[in-house]
Amino acid sequence: MTSEEIIKKIKTDQGESIESSEVNLGDSVIFLGKEAAYSVLEYLKRDPDLDFDYLSHISGADYLNEDREPRFEVVYELHSIDKNHSIRIRVGLDEEDPTVPTVSDLWKGALYPERELFDMFGFNIEGHPNLSRLIMPEEWEGNPLRKDYPLTLEDVTFSYNREFKQDLVKSKPPTR
Amino acid sequence: MTVTDQGLLEREKDSMTLNMGPQHPSTHGVFRVVLEMDGELVDSAEPHIGFLHTGIEKTSEAKRYVHVIPMTDRLDYLSPPGNNLAFCLTVEKLLQTDVPARANYLRIIMCELARMASHLVWLATHALDIGAMTVFLYCWREREMILDLNEEISGVRMMTSYIRLGGVAQDSTPGWLQSVRKFIEYFPAKIDEYERLLTRNPIWLDRTQSVGVMSREEAINWSMSGPVLRASGVSWDLRKQRPYSGYENFKFEVPIGKNGDIYDRYLVRVAELRESREIVKQALEKLPKGPYKVDDNKISLPNRKTLKSSMEALIHHFKLVSEGVSVPKGETYVPVEGPRGEVGFYIISDGSNVPSRVKLRAPSFMAIPGMCRMMEGCFIADVVGIIGSIDIVMGEVDR
Amino acid sequence: MAFGESVMQEYFFISLVAVFALVLVGALLALSTILGPRNPSPQKLIPYECGVVPKEEAKGRYPVRFATVAMLFIIFDIEVVFMYPWAVSLGQLKLFGLIEMLVFILILGVAYVYIWGRGGLEWD
Amino acid sequence: MGLIDQAYDLVETEVNNVKENVKDVLDQAEYDFSGAVYDSILTTKVGKVIGWAQKNALWPATFGLACCAIEMMAMANSRWDAARFGAEVFRASPRQADLMIVSGRVSQKMAPVLKTIFDQMPEPKWVISMGACASCGGIFNNYAIVQGVDRVVPVDVYVPGCPPGPEALLYGIIKLQEKIMNEAGTKQAAKRVA
């Protein structure tokens, strides 16, 4: 099915819980609210002729600089192995409590990407079997991939564009 | 130790925890898995990753698009052109430019050579882990030839950064095409050599058949990709399902396994070695003439000679070198078939010349939970074989 | 006796080799313990666990399965050890030696089939 | 009055100098007789023989982290062949290794492991920092990478390159062998072991 048909089908079946949808550069993209996320994802997986049975990836995004209302966003990319079409679901999360329900019972492959979201962005994943730091060391404080976390560049001894790098150097955690 | 009601000592957990730690000869990099062992059998395997976290995604949010390309080389360091292609295709989709045919063919040649080199490293280390020393030395002999080809065209052995935005770095010299042709004729006899060593070797068969089995549904559910998915019987190869950069006009089959054990993954990857060689042969025959990068100077540098004559080329050159490409606002994701599976960059751009978010979809990262579920119930010696058969690369797992 | 040596002479050569081996090994060990540098630091003495500091002490108790496999190995290893002197002196023993060894192998073969049947070779 | 002050200052600096010299001599003496038997029989000639033996049997501990590990494997293979320099046997456990080639980028989570492995290697031990990431953090100047392995372990030879070719690593090993030969029979060799 082409992108337009997918979106039309989803709109007819789940019309009210879809905030908006678009065909962005040929890919079908739908925007969801936090509450409706799990039900729509389950529908996408269970529906016989959509049949999105393959989870490609889950990634987080932080729109701090673009002053969008929901600052964070979780992006699911799903493929359908037999029907060979894909969809991208973007779920907006606000800053105070960025929580999103886990989809690890729908796709087992979601276990690690969701833990990475918790580790890198600080999102709280409800119902995740083992939510703990995955990539950073256990006692690391802060979530590195947020926009307000500094890149902590060290002052390089010989650098020609020093002022470009200066604003990225905010605080420097102690090197172990 | 607690005392039970009959006054006997309560048996503490009798399983032994064994730590296959970050510094281990056969974990293919710094990967740690803590095994709960009941004698020789593995009860549960709990992976720990992050020992090679380089923060590439965060660093690329402070670098221009052109500067991110050398960093994508260092993600999956066994097939750098694969990552370059994934990154460049995604940015080109945002820029909505298409690449001339010759550039597409050169990109395909480099990616298929990288796939062969990566599969050779996989076969070498996987066989070495299971005990076949000679295969390790044989595979590296061919890999050195591919690295020579890389060095001849791009000047660097491994991290070629040959695929750039809007095309490729330099045009291919006739001498290089000649040496690629020589390698293509030489290579199939060597693949037969590996097959003679392993394919009907009784030890190899005992160690790999019906070990670490993953059924078709499980492989899809655990988001496996690439040869591991195809070995479980799922025909999902992005070069066929979503042809990109000219793969549609190449004739090659996709090897599919039946019962998804280590032996099928071995057969699938060795067959892929032959298919990649086939693709490079066809690409060499049909290599079109014409420009090797898009001539829209907003994206690719103008020709050196025109700098002396046309003022406009000079302005474009200066603007590109100092400020780089400004990508229109938007977000997209283009999956590419790397040697380990579906590789893709999810890029969000805010219209400036610095990407706002670069997320790598790493096939090895998605395969780790499935791999550890596969380890439950197998012998300790098979853990090493399973890690080898999934072919994880820690550079792209920890990013 | 071949070349007119007495039995004692034969043992002389064997003992020569044995002494030489002992002296060599002894010298190497002694020299390395005396001359070798020795500075144990606490970090160096923690058991090596692939780079991670081990949390729990190494367990003493192992599943009984390992013991049975060890015993089976010893049975068939000794069987092969007996074959060496037999193979060397088969020239003198001629037919009698051959039959004797076949009977020996037959007896152990019965044990082998029994173990195989009872599943002693699988892990559990 | 000024003269007395000047004299007093002169005497005081003189006393400090003497104290300084005495401290140096004591240090040197204490150091000279602190070595094991190894040190006392050490004459330059025997030290040279020991150095010659050590340099031709450098057994590297497999410490492959990232891309440089692939080039390190290429160096150990038939085309570049580290066996010509005695460095072919890659020991998995640090107990049997005397050379640690840190090949790849060291992340913050890996630094304590690197320190543990280095401590568990018996003396005399040497460290080659292979590649730009190990030597100075390379192109990754961020929160995750230790900016140079010499913040964690003492490094003997730095091999530049990203990744350095196998021939560059072999050149690094040859340089290390020269260093061992120069140091053999001197105080540094004894200090390295003490």
How many angstroms separate the CA of residue B115 from the nearest CA in chain A? 21
> What's the pLDDT tens digit per position in A117-127?
999 999 999 99
- List of residues 6+ apart from D105 with CB closer than 8 A: B52, B54, D65, D66, D131, D133, D134, D137, D138, D140, D145
- List of residues 6+ apart from D158 with CB closer than 8 A: D128, D129, D135, D172
Amino acid present at A83? K
Dihedral in degrees, nearest 10, Cα atoms A23, A24, A28, A29: -110
> What's the pLDDT tens digit per position in B166-206?
899 999 999 999 999 999 999 999 999 999 999 999 999 99
Which of the residue ranges B4-18, C80-94, D163-177 would you say has the lowest mean pLDDT? B4-18
Rounded Cα distance, B302 and A147, in Å: 35
3-class state of residue A169 by DSSP:
coil
What tokens appear for A93 in the block? Answer: 């999360």
Task: Please state, rounded to an integer, the average pLDDT across all residues of chain B.
Answer: 91
Cβ contact D109–B51 (<8 Å): yes
Residues of chain A neighbouring B56 (CB-CB closer than 8 A): none
Q: Is 60 exceeded by the pLDDT of residue C67? A: yes
Give the strand order in the sheet containing B16-20: B16-20, B32-38, B41-48
How many angstroms separate the CA of residue A55 from the nearest CA in chain B? 6
Residue B154 is predicted with a pLDDT of 92
DSSP code of B302? P
Q: Is 90 exceeded by the pLDDT of residue B88? A: yes
Residue B7 is predicted with a pLDDT of 56
Mean pLDDT of B384-390: 93
Tell how far CA D103 is from the center of its chain: 15
Q: Which percentage of chain C shows pLDDT scores above 90?
A: 42
Q: Is 80 exceeded by the pLDDT of residue B10? A: no
Residues of chain B neighbouring D70 (CB-CB closer than 8 A): 77-78, 121, 158
3-class state of residue B173 by DSSP:
coil
Residue A174 is predicted with a pLDDT of 43
Which of the residue ranges B103-117, B207-221, C32-46, D132-146 would you say has the lowest mean pLDDT? C32-46
- Closest to B29 (Cα-Cα) out of B398, B396, B394: B394
Rounded Cα distance, B182 and B174, in Å: 12
> What's the pLDDT tens digit per position in A55-74?
999 999 999 888 778 899 99
Residue A166 is predicted with a pLDDT of 63
- Asked if residue B294 lies in contact with residue B99, where contact means CB atoms within 8 angstroms, the answer is yes
- pTM of the entire structure? 0.88
- Closest to B358 (Cα-Cα) out of B382, B378, B377, B333: B333
Mean pLDDT of C28-57: 83
Mean pLDDT of B26-44: 88
Q: Is 70 exceeded by the pLDDT of residue C5? A: no
Count of beta carbons in the 10 Å neighbourhood of residue B154: 20
Mean pLDDT per segment of 10 residues, for chain A of length 176 residues?
88 86 90 90 90 93 85 93 92 90 92 94 92 90 89 72 61 43
B188 touches chain A (CB under 8 A): no
D118 band by pLDDT with thresholds 50, 70 and 90: very high
Cβ contact D108–A140 (<8 Å): yes
Residues of chain D neighbouring A175 (CB-CB closer than 8 A): 108, 146-147, 151
Residue B382 is predicted with a pLDDT of 92
- Closest to B54 (Cα-Cα) out of B345, B364, B399, B396: B399
